[in-house]
Amino acid sequence: MKEKRSRRGQKGFTLIELLVVVIIIGLLAALVGPRIFGKTTGAKQQATKAQIENFGMALDIFRLDTGRYPTSEEGLKVLREKPSGVERWEGPYLKKEVPLDPWGKPYVYRCPGDHGDYDLISYGLDGVEGGEGENQDIVSWQDIKR
């Protein structure tokens, strides 16, 4: 006959111990999670502002070479591809293709701009003008509000 094994000698976790661990993990997630996810909004906004500043430097070099900023119709693509009829184009002025903003939407470029020679805009998460938090517009003519 086969002997029945006694469970008293087995090692393992009790249901109470597992519940305590799950509760501790839940508490840590509740405390740490919002802080981590709150930082992503600020990081995306800072990355957008840095990208807009990078575009601004490339636009200034384009202007030095050609004597003008690209038109709204030409857009930012002229920083990578020579437009027809433009003399003294010495580009490309960006190392990579013009990226989308961190929310996956194209940057808005206007020349002449309402706030300077040109306006560069990312409308944030919602993709429409105005908003606060992650929906806040990031623009070339002012700093990000914190």
**Could you give the CA distance from residue 97 to residue 45 in angstroms, rounded to a whole number?**
20
Q: What is the mean pLDDT of residues 46-63?
A: 93
Instruction: Decide which of 144 and 41 is more confident.
Output: 41
The pLDDT, as a whole number, for residue 39 is 59
Q: What is the mean pLDDT of residues 49-66?
A: 93
Sorted by where each begins, the domain ranges of the chain are: 40-139
- CA R_g for the chain: 27
Side chain identity at residue 48, one-letter code: T
Q: Which of 36, 27, 98 is nearest to 62 (CA)?
A: 98
Q: What is the mean pLDDT of residues 9-20?
A: 79
Tens digits of residue pLDDT in 113-134: 999 999 999 998 888 888 888 8
The pLDDT, as a whole number, for residue 17 is 84
Instruction: Enumerate residues 6+ apart whose C-beta is below 8 A from 89.
Output: 62, 65, 66, 78, 82, 83
The confidence band for 142, taking pLDDT boundaries of 50, 70 and 90, is confident
Q: What is the mean pLDDT of residues 97-101?
A: 93
Mean pLDDT of the chain: 85
Q: Which tokens belong to 51?
A: 């990208």
The pLDDT, as a whole number, for residue 146 is 44
- 47 to 10, 58, 80, 85, 118: CA distances (angstroms): 55, 17, 21, 34, 20
Q: Which tokens belong to 131?
A: 């908003």
The confidence band for 38, taking pLDDT boundaries of 50, 70 and 90, is low
Pick the CATH number of 40-139 from 3.30.700.10, 1.10.1520.10, 3.40.50.300, 1.20.58.100: 3.30.700.10
Look up tokens 């929310």; give the residue: 103
